[in-house]
Structure 1
Amino acid sequence: MAARSLEIGSAGIRAARTTENLRTEQHLAQRKLAERVTTLGHPMSNTMLSRIERAQRRCDVDDLVLIAEALRVSPFVLLQGPNRL
């Protein structure tokens, strides 16, 4: 089986940028947001979050939903992109 492509699509890029924007607007360190996601039952390190925000790691649907919950927004907000805030 071939290795899965790491290419991040446009929705992933929008979610990454919006995650970072919301996190900084809420004055949250990456470590704090990762802790919130972990508390919600989805283990996440600040390194994982950093890679998601820099679009170096795919943000799967579980990541997306729980990051949104930890930021207290709808997952749709993350998918719409930073220009929609």
Structure 2
Amino acid sequence: MATDEVLRGPTGETVRHNVARLRAKRGLSLRALAARTEESNRPLGHGSINQIEQGRRRVDVDDLMVLSVALGVSPLAILFPQSPKGKRDNKARIEVEATGIGTTRLGVLWSWGKCLFIPSWAPQQTAEWEDRDEDGVGVTRDEDGQWIIPYEVADMMSSIMKMDQQRMSKLFELFDLFVDDYQKDRQAKKASDGDD
């Protein structure tokens, strides 16, 4: 390691790589990306961006947000690894490294990042789940009342996501009804099992 490199874990390496990749993909020079960050309340100079890409500067959460806006992507597109070219459909099978997690599947990481489900390696979050079965699969809502959908369900629904907004609203309305009925049935079963 060169003396001017900073110690970083797998996520830091991913961020460094993704900033360089996204900047190149958009055809932006270091100065052009720096100019885009000047529109924020936290401008980054071209030298700072170069240091990030070369692994000589860490990216803090404020930098992450500014770079995301300047590159026109979600912060997750910088924070998480991407599928290798031609392997987008195999996201569920690709293993990646992430700081604090270790090795996990890329699809699991992205589903967790999008609040679609809570994986087994995040046990401190499992208390938020309202109803889990013996396999640990369950559904619940986040603090805004939005569904947190298990990965298995989210994976099945991925092709449905191309629907128009009206059909999508109807689908989620039906999903709400299904889950409500499912939870009522489970509660009734638990009550009847307790009466025996």
Shared fold, TM over 0.5: yes
Structure 1 residue aligned with 2:19 = 19
Pairwise mapping of residues 2-81 of structure 1 onto structure 2 (< 5 A)? 6-81=6-81
Instruction: Flag the structure with higher helix content.
Output: 1
TM normalised by structure 2 equals 0.39
Q: How far apart in 2 are the matches of 1:12 and 1:83?
A: 17
Larger RCO, structures 1/2 (Cα 8 Å, 6+ apart): 1
Q: Distance in 2 between matches of 1:58 and 1:39?
A: 21
**Structure exhibiting the larger radius of gyration computed from Cα positions:** 2
Q: How many residues align?
A: 80
- In the alignment, structure 2 segments of 5+ residues that lack a partner are 1-5, 86-196
Give yes or no for contact 1:34–1:45 (8 Å, CA) kept in 2. yes
Q: Which runs of 5+ in 1 are unaligned?
A: 1-5
Q: Percent identity among equivalent residues?
A: 31
TM-superposed CA distance for 1:63, in Å, is: 0.4
- Name the counterpart of 1:3: none
What's the C-alpha RMSD, in Å, of the aligned pairs? 1.5
> Partners in 1 of 2:60 and 2:48 — Cα distance?
12
C-alpha distance in structure 2 between counterparts of 1:18 and 1:55, whole Å: 12
